[in-house]
Amino acid sequence: MNLTSAPQVKKLLAEHDLRPKKRLGQNFLIDRNVLDRIVSASGAGQGVNVLEIGPGLGTVTQELADTGAKVVCVEADRELIPVLEDVLADRNVEIVNQDFLKIDLPAFLKERGGGRWVVVGNLPYYITSPIITTLLDSKQMVSSIILMVQREVAMRLQAKPATDDYGSLSVFVQYHCEIESVMKVSKNVFYPVPDVDSEIVKLTVREKPAVCVRDENLFFRVVRAAFGKRRKTLLNALSSSAEMGWDKETAHRIIENAGIDGGRRGETLSIEEFGTLANRFQEK
């Protein structure tokens, strides 16, 4: 079924007596070019496992299935399930009606044959971060993630140190993944038109994290503490963080041993420098 135009989408919704639900971020893709770019970036094909989050009307899903990939899609809206069954009728797609954030992902993927999965999602923007975190918590089962995200979030994911967009989400994602921008997407390629522009990003899970740290939990605690008070110096941010529990003298010694100037702001530190800092603390 061709769903890459607003009249076709409206017709399909009307046939099922449905309207797009704002609370579930339902803005359906209606652009052929963008659709092709998503499918091509996913690398879907014979022998590839694809998990799609939020298939909506099945616009992207049907194209993914037509590549010969094994496709499982998870849609939270019960009312869209009959639409998906209709659109995907002759295709080999498993449709699951669940809130993705309530799934036990490792168990869910194991039940479906395990292995590694490519994840595709044109997501409601308010759940982008928890979805990325959920996926990367199971990164041994995920090879890459192709996401349509709000333009601002795409900038945060790709941000470099000492920029306004750089934050703990940037460090978290760049630590686990290589990131590339697939394309910038105008808000006019959706029905209904959302308030913001989007971008498609591809996160390829690294074989090894971007830096070698001895204790990942500690590394992310340091990162969170440094960004928690991003206008403070690194020394003040780390020594006043309840999560770190460092007094000023300890923080000073660790930062100095790491060869970092404690007068810098945490937001100027590279991932490597955060790694050195966490490793120095471990040695102490």
SS3 of the chain: helix, strand, coil, percent, to 5? 45, 20, 35
Given its phi and psi angles, is residue 47 left (phi above 0), alpha (psi -120 to 50 degrees) or beta?
left
| 95 binds ligand SAM, rule: CB under 6 A | no
For ligand SAM, the closer CB: 4 or 279? 4
Using the rule CB under 6 A, is 54 a contact of ligand SAM?
Answer: yes
- Region binding ligand SAM by CB under 6 A among candidate stretches 26-34, 215-223, 235-243, 276-284: 26-34
Is residue 150 a contact residue for ligand SAM (CB under 6 A)? Answer: no
The interface region with ligand SAM, picked from 75-83, 139-147, 206-214, 242-250 by CB under 6 A, is 75-83
Asked if residue 122 binds ligand SAM (CB under 6 A), the reply is: yes
**Residue 272 is a binding residue for ligand SAM (CB under 6 A):** no
User: Which of 4, 12, 27, 135 forms a contact with ligand SAM (CB under 6 A)?
Assistant: 27
Q: Which is nearer to ligand SAM, 41 or 57 (CB)?
A: 57
Distances (CA, A) of 35 to 5, 31, 42, 59: 12, 6, 11, 8
Question: Which bin fits 68, alpha (ψ -120 to 50), beta or left (φ > 0)?
Answer: left
Q: Does 77 bind ligand SAM (CB under 6 A)?
A: yes
The answer to the question of residue 26 lying near ligand SAM (CB under 6 A) is yes
Nearest of 198, 150, 191, 145 to residue 29 by alpha carbon? 191
Least distance (Å) from ligand SAM to the CB of residue 194? 8
Burial of 225 (0-12, 13-18, 19+ CB in 10 A): buried
- What SS3 class is residue 167? coil
Tell which one of 124, 167, 266, 275 touches ligand SAM (CB under 6 A): 124
Short-list 165, 163, 168, CA closest to 220: 168
What is the phi/psi pair of residue 37, to 5°?
-65, -35
> Per CB under 6 A, does 145 bind ligand SAM?
no
H helices present in 51-127, as ranges: 59-66, 81-87, 105-111
Q: How far is the CB of 30 from ligand SAM (least distance, A)?
A: 8
Question: Can you give the binding site for ligand SAM, defined by CB under 6 A?
Answer: 24-29, 53-57, 59-60, 74-77, 80, 99-101, 122-124, 127
